[in-house]
Amino acid sequence: MNFFERQNEVRRASARLVVLFIVAVLAIVTLANLLVVVASVSGGSEPGEVAMFAVLVTIGTLIFIGGVSLVRTASLRSGGGSKVARALGAMPVPHDTTDPHLRRYRNVVEEIAIASGTPVPELFVMNGERGINAFAAGYTPADAAVAVTQGALERLNRDELQGVIAHEFSHIVNGDMRLNIRLIGVLAGLTALSVIGRILVYSGGGRQRGSSNNSGAPIALIGMVALLAGFIGVFFGRLIKAAVSRQREYLADASAVQFTRQTSGLAGALKKIGGLDDGSKLRNAKTEDVSHMLFGEGMNFSSLYATHPPLIKRIQTLEPDFQPENLAELRKQWRSQPPSGLREDAQLGLVAEHDMPAGGAQQSTTRATPAPTRANAPISIDPAAVVAGIGDPNATSYTHGERIRGEIPAVFADRAHDASAVVPLIYGLLLSADHDVRTQQHAILVGKYGRELADAAWQAGGELQHLDPHLRLPLVEIAFPALRNREPDQIREIMATLSDLIAADGRVSVFEYCLGTLVFSGLHEVLTHKPRWSGSGQRLHSSRAAVTPLLAVLARVGNDEPRAAEKAFRAGMNVVYPGDDVRFELPQEGILALEHVWPAVDGLNGQDKAKLIEALVTTVMDNGRVTLEEAELLRTVCAVLHCPMPPLA
C-alpha cells in the first residue's frame, strides 16, 4: 500500500467513522426514547404527551450530541496539535536546552522530518510520566505537534527513540492525525450525555436528601435517562475507537521499520513497554480521550476496547521468534537494573555529535557521518521509485536526513530553535549579495521592525553567505516550529516582509521562490488549518493549462540550452499526456507563473498526483543530472501537492 492508497484508506476510514457515529447516535436516541416512554406511561401520561416527549427528546439529543462534537472538533482544529499536547500537561522543549535527552529527541525528530519531506513539528515532553509513550497531533502536518513521555526519553536508546518517532511520523504523513482529531470530536459528543447525566443525578439526589419535598426527583429522573443513554455512547465510542485505531497501528509500525531499516529499534521500545513496571501507562485523567493517538496503550482496556493490537503480537510481527517468556526474563532483569537510554547509546556508539550537550560534556563514541558528495556527476534515478517513496521514505532517506541535519552548523541551528532569533535568521537567508539591493532590504526591515532586528538580519545574512547552499532549505525546515509559534498578526507580518524582501531586486530566484512558497504555505496552514489552495476534484485531462507551464518552468531551471530544455519538457509531457504535441514555451512571468498552477494541481486526485510527480522527475532526469535548483523546486512542488518527498540523495 503506497502513500496515495493510504490516503484513500484514511478517507474511507473517515467515511466509516461518520457511519458508525450515525449508528451510535441512533442507538442513543432509541434508548433515550424508550426510557422516556416507559417513564411517561408509568406516570400516567396520555399518548399524545408521550409522543411529544419522544419528539423533544429526539431533537434535544441530536442537537446536544451534534453540537458537542462540532464544538470539540472546531476547538481542536483551531488550536492545532499543540493544544492537544498542552491539554495532557505536556511542556514545549526549551530552545536553549542542554539536557542530552531533549537534545537527542529534538535532533531525531528533525532528522526524520528532513528525511521524509515533512514540516518539523512542535516538540513537547510529558514530564513526570514514567511510562513509555508518545503521540502526534494536529489537523495538518504544518500545525503538528509530537509529544513523548519522560519515561521514553530516559529509557529508550537512540535507535528505539527513532523507531517510536518514525511510527508517529507515519501518522503525520498518512493523514491519521486529522482522522484522530475528528475521532476525539465524535467521542466527545457520544460520551457527553453520560457526564451530564451523572451531574444531574447527583444534583437531583442531593436536593431530595436536603429537602422535605421531592423537587429534585424530576432532575434526578432526567439525569438517570441521560446517564443510561450515555452508557450506550461510551460503549459505542470505545468500539469505534478500537475499530478505527488498531489496523493503523500495525501500518505505522511497518512504516517505521521500513524507514529505519531495522526492527531492533521499534521492537526494543515495545519490549521495554512490556518489560518495565510503568509500561506505557499515563497518569493523566484525560488519557482516555486520546488513547487512540498514543504509541502504546495509555490505560488498561479489555481486549474488546483496546485501541492497539496486543503488545506481544506487535513484537512478534517484528521478531517472529520472540515469546512471552522472553518478556518475563526482561522484566526480571530490568527490575534489578532499569535500562538507561543514554548509557546504551554510549555502549552501542549511537550518540551523534549534534546530540551532545553544549561544551561537549558528554563523552561517548560518536557515530561517523560521511561527507556528502556535491559533484554534479551523472546519476540514475527511477521516476517510478521516487513516486513509490512519496510519504514512504526508506533507510537511505533517513541516513541522508541524518547527514544533512548533522552538517547544519550549531550556531545556525541554535538560532533556528530560538523564537527571538529565528526571524532575523530567515530574513538573512534572503539578503542579497549585491550591496545596493541588500541596503534596500535593510531599509525595508528598519521600516517594519526597527534597526536592531534589521542589523541582526544583516549580520546573519553575512554569516549565511558561507553556508553550504544545500543546507539552506533544511535550515528553514528546522526553523519552522520557532517561526510559527507566535501571534497571527506577527505571522502575517512575517509573510508580508518575506514578500517585500524577495521583490526588492525586481526578480525572483529559484531559491527565493522555494523558500517563500514553503514558508507561506506552512504559515497559511498554521493560521487557517487548511491548505493555501482549495482546489479539488481536478483531473489531469482537464488540467493541461496548469501542468504545461509547470513542466516548462522545471525543464528550463535544469537546462540553460533551449533545445535541452525542450527535450526535457517533452519527456515529462509524454508521461502525463502521451502523444500530445504541445508547444514548448516558457511563461513570461517565469517561475512566478507557478502561482497560477497550484490551485489546479493541488486539487488532483491521488493517482493523478502520482502521475504528475513521475512526469516532474522524468523532466528533471532527462539530462541525467539533478541540480540543486531542480531538487529544491521539485521538493517544493511536492510540498504544495501535500505529497511529502524524501530528499534526492
- 204 contacts: CB under 8 Å, gap ≥ 6: 216, 217, 218, 219, 220, 221, 222, 223
Report the mean per-residue pLDDT for the chain.
Answer: 84
Mean predicted confidence (pLDDT) in 463-471: 94
For 91-171+253-336, CATH gives: 3.30.2010.10
Mean pLDDT computed over 234-257: 77
Percentage of the chain exceeding pLDDT 90 = 41
Beta strand 91-92 with 122-126 is antiparallel
The pLDDT confidence band at residue 220, using thresholds 50, 70 and 90, is: low
Helix/strand/coil for 369: coil
Catalytic annotation, residues: 168
> pLDDT class for 265, splitting at 50, 70, 90?
confident
pLDDT (mean) for 89-116 = 93
Task: Give per-residue pLDDT as tens, 120-166.
Answer: 999 999 999 999 999 999 888 888 999 999 999 999 999 999 999 98
534: CB partners within 8 A, 6+ apart: 599, 603
1 has a pLDDT exceeding 90? no
Q: What is the pLDDT of residue 535?
A: 57
The residue ranges of every structural domain in the chain are 3-86+178-241, 91-171+253-336, 404-523, 533-640
Is pLDDT larger for residue 244 or for residue 173?
A: 173
Average pLDDT over residues 580-603: 88
Burial of 542 (0-12, 13-18, 19+ CB in 10 A): exposed
What's residue 243's pLDDT? 75
H helical segments located in 280-434: 311-318, 324-336, 341-348, 383-389, 395-407, 410-417, 422-430
pLDDT at 113: 92
Q: What is the pLDDT of residue 258?
A: 66
In this predicted structure, the answer to whether residue 360 has a pLDDT above a threshold of 50 is no
Of 524 and 40, the structure prediction assigns the larger pLDDT to 524
Across 337-347, average pLDDT: 91
Comparing 41 with 330, the larger pLDDT belongs to: 330
What are 497's three cell numbers?
516582509
Check pLDDT > 70 for residue 255: yes
Q: 194-206, pLDDT tens digit by residue?
A: 878 777 777 655 5
Instruction: Return the top range by mean pLDDT from 80-89, 350-359, 454-463.
Output: 454-463
CB 469 within 8 A of CB 515: no
pLDDT band at 474 (very low <50, low <70, confident <90, very high): very high
Compute the average pLDDT of residues 66-91: 86
Tens-digit pLDDT profile for residues 541-556? 888 899 999 999 999 9
How far, in Å, CA of 297 to CA of 303, rounded? Answer: 11
Q: When comparing pLDDT for 255 and 359, which is higher?
A: 255
Q: Is the pLDDT of residue 247 over 80?
A: no
More confident residue, 7 or 402: 402
